[in-house]
Chain A
Amino acid sequence: MSEITELTKLLYVEDETDIRIVAEIALSQIAGFTVKTCASGNEGLESLENFKPQLILLDVMMPGMDGPHVLKKIQQHREFCDTPVVFMTAKARTDEIEKLKTLGAIDVITKPFNPMTLGDEIKTIWQRHHDSSKR
């Protein structure tokens, strides 16, 4: 049986500076991931080839290219079309979350998030994604 690859590299796209800094503290300092943060969808897409993330965290509502639009671009990318994407959103309504999942995100994390446990939450999502891929 093949082992699940350890999750180490995350790309995080979020336009709000303050929330980006909190998440960076949570993901790099607390959880120990190597994290690249980007302030826009375009910047995130441009970072894919150099950074080669294993998982992408996307804010939903951003000016210019929003999260679902960025996801669509990732899904069309020949190298990163299979890279799992997790949305982050302040919208916590169940119907909104389900709608985001139908777009192809493997999960949705709602804000406010707990900086102390955000990394564990992402590790659980990663594990679950790989468990379901093996079935």
Chain B
Amino acid sequence: MTAQNDSPSEDTVHDQLVELQKSYISKLDQKLQNIIDLWNTFKSSDQPKDEFQKLYRSVHSIVGTSSTLNISEVSRLCSTLEQVLLPMLKTEDLGSNDILSIEPLITELITLHQNKDYKPKPIQLNGYM
């Protein structure tokens, strides 16, 4: 897809970003459920390394989008989870201590998923984020 400048007003841009934020929030239930599912698959897998990669990628993608769209609670929690997961990507064997350090964050994510309190912040183009 190729796009070119057609000089929109700030209001138009703002409205588009607000719609994108709403649209993304409507998809978050599924995205967070996917992380919970990947976590459970990882814990019971014979190939945990592969499952761990998938888990990391899913968390990472939510960090980038939720932070840009100002969905603060999701961004905060997934960013914390990503920081815990990242060094473990490079380790050969994930031990029980690793799993213990991830588990509380997944529990927090399950609660967030149940309560759906994603805490989106208003999109304000002046002083964005």
- Interface residues of chain A, those whose CB is within 8 Å of chain B, are 15-16, 18-19, 21-22, 24-25, 27-37, 51, 61, 63, 89-91, 111-117
Residues of A within 8 A of B97 (CB): none
| CB 8 Å contact bits of B25-45 with A (1 = contact, 0 = none) | 000000000000000000000
Q: Which of B8, B65, B69 has the most CB of A within 10 A?
A: B65
Q: Which of A15, A28, A36, A112 has the most CB of B within 10 A?
A: A112
Q: Are A22 and B17 in contact (CB under 8 A)?
A: yes
Closest to B70 in A: A112
| CB 8 Å contact bits of B63-95 with A (1 = contact, 0 = none) | 111011110000100000010001000000000
CB distance from A93 to the nearest CB of B (A): 8
Q: Are B68 and A111 in contact (CB under 8 A)?
A: yes
Q: Are B129 and A36 in contact (CB under 8 A)?
A: no
Q: Are A37 and B3 in contact (CB under 8 A)?
A: yes
A29 and B128 contact, Cβ closer than 8 Å, known pairs A18-B69, A21-B20: no
- Interface residues of chain B, those whose CB is within 8 Å of chain A, are 1-8, 12-13, 16-17, 20, 23-24, 57, 60-61, 63-65, 67-70, 75, 82, 86, 125-126, 128-129
Residues of B within 8 A of A63 (CB): 57
Closest to B66 in A: A112
Closest to A35 in B: B3
Q: How far is the CA of A112 from the CA of B16 in the complex (A)?
A: 17
Residues of B within 8 A of A30 (CB): 8, 13
CB distance from A13 to the nearest CB of B (A): 12
